[in-house]
Amino acid sequence: MPIFHYKGYRDDGSETAGTIEASGMSDALSRVKAEGIFASDISEPRIGRRKRLFQRIDETFLPNMTRQLSTLLSSGVPLMDALVSLAAEYHGSYKEMLISIKERVSSGAGLYRALEEFSDYFPEFYRNMVQAGEESGNLDTVLRKLADFLESQNAVRAKVRSAMIYPIFMMGIGIVVLSFLFTFVIPKIVKIFRDTKSTLPFITVVLIFITNLFVSYWWALLGAATAAYLFVRRFLRGHRLLIDRLILKLPGNVIQSLYFARFARTLGFLLDGGLPMLKALGLSARSMGNKEIEASVLSGAERVAEGQKLSASLEKFPPVFIQLVATGEKSGRLPETLNRAADAYEEEFNRKISQGVSLFEPLMILLMGLVVGFIALAILLPMFQLNQLVK
């Protein structure tokens, strides 16, 4: 049954609000009234294909829900009862969505058809895998594999985020400390040099100029930083293909390993789940996050459709990857070979990320040392000059 939102008043005059499950509007009114509430407003939520504005999807929802549904089905629980249990497990928009899915399934639609109404929550590859599981009668097995896959993808994303936290934190601390120095501390020191009316070293003049910028034009610096951020963000969105091409040309590219791992993991997973090669290639290409390699894979898919082998159709992939694909094709164990390749490239990515983070700390120390040295030299040089004049 659908869920209705209500607002109203209790017998003591206090306001209340909540949700109630009912078969229709009149049933909802009766249920609210039976609870001793005078309803001032009651409505059925509309859950469409798109998520609500500014709503962030919890990344743990899909793998957790998929794992729970797989466990219920493999234990012999019918699909309808499993969906009812899941709806009772969650709250808010997730509960409403699961109840809506249950209603569509109870009306005769397949589970994958019901999921199509919520494409923001259930990506295309997920829905295709569910369809393959329903058609083969192995929905519980497919859901278990989906949960494993989604959890592994979340683990990779978590590693990327955790690797970025330390550099961003250190940069933020450095910016805050330098801003404080140039705004409150250094101006009091350089004021002494300005009052002497003597010729100052060039490095001290530069320091005074930077200090004046922070003190008198902090609002302009903040506006310029905001404008630069918005410009870069818009440029990156409008020139995605160009940016992705440049990323692939970077020396010692770290992110390439992540692209190859995503492609291998997704393609191996989809092929193992029974999806046709061409469908799996299209979905895998869109999972990598690089438009240049995506276009290359889609072009290769056209050659596969014409009868070529996958290993002979892939471009912009390293020779080792191509050789692994060729070996998998010859042995008839392509999904397993692709999963091993994904493991290798994920390990390579983790190793490169660890090396990059370990190099960042000494680089930050060196940069901060140069800034501190610049400030110290700019302050000490005029002090030495004043000392000479006194002598």
- pLDDT, tens only, 54-102: 355 678 899 999 999 999 999 999 999 999 999 888 888 888 888 888 8
Q: The domain spanning residue 85 has which CATH number? A: 1.20.81.30
Greatest Cα pair distance in the chain: 99
Do both 30 and 83 map to the same domain?
Answer: no
* 87 and 131 fall within a common domain: yes
Residue 259 in any domain: the answer is no
Dump pLDDT digits (tens) for 263-274: 998 899 888 888
154 lies in a domain?
A: no
What is the spatial distance between Cα 32 and Cα 214, in angstroms, rounded to a whole number? 61
Distance CA 51, CA 356 (A): 36
Evaluate whether residue 112 is within a structural domain: yes
Q: Please, what is the end-to-end C-alpha distance for the chain in angstroms? A: 94
Mapped onto helix, strand or coil, the DSSP state of residue 39 is strand
* Domain-terminating residue out of 148, 166, 191: 148
Phi, psi of 328 (to 5 degrees): -65, -40
Q: Are residues 71 and 134 in the same domain?
A: yes
Ranges in the chain, pLDDT < 70:
1-5, 18-25, 43-57, 194-198, 251-253, 386-391
* 76 and 107, same domain (yes or no): yes
Helix, strand, coil fractions of the chain, as percent rounded to 5: 75, 5, 20
Residues 65, 37 within the same domain: no
Place of tokens 């309803």: 39
| DSSP letter (8 states) at residue 57 | P
Residues 30, 84, single domain; the answer is: no
Domain assignment of residue 308, yes or no: no
Q: Would 76 be classed as within a structural domain?
A: yes
Q: What are phi and psi of 10, to 5 degrees?
A: -85, 175
Among 214, 217, 198, which residue's Cα sits nearest to residue 375?
Answer: 214
In a domain, 196, yes or no: no
* pLDDT for position 7: 76
Q: Does residue 38 fall inside a structural domain?
A: yes
Q: Look at the chain and report how many structural domains it folds into.
A: 2
The torsion angles phi and psi of 56, rounded to 5 degrees, stand at -100, 130
> Which of 114, 148, 182 is the C-terminal boundary of a domain?
148
Do residue 16 and residue 84 come from a single domain? Answer: no
135 and 66, same structural domain?
yes
Distance CA 1, CA 84 (A): 10
CA 33 distance to own-chain centroid? 44
CA distance 312 to 301: 11
The pLDDT assigned to 195 comes to 66
Same domain, 93 and 139: yes
For the record, the structure tokens of 3 come out as: 């869920």
Burial 269-284 (b: 16+ CB within 10 A, else e): bbbbbbbeeebbbbbb
Last residue of a domain, one of 100, 119, 148: 148
What's the confidence (pLDDT) of residue 52? Answer: 44
pLDDT value of position 338: 92
Is the same domain home to 105 and 66?
yes
Residues of the domain holding 34: 3-43
Residues 12 and 82 grouped into a single domain: no
Phi/psi-derived region of residue 21, left when phi > 0, alpha when psi is between -120 and 50, beta in every other case: beta
Helix (H) or strand (E) holding 127: helix 124-136
Residue 123 lies in a domain: yes
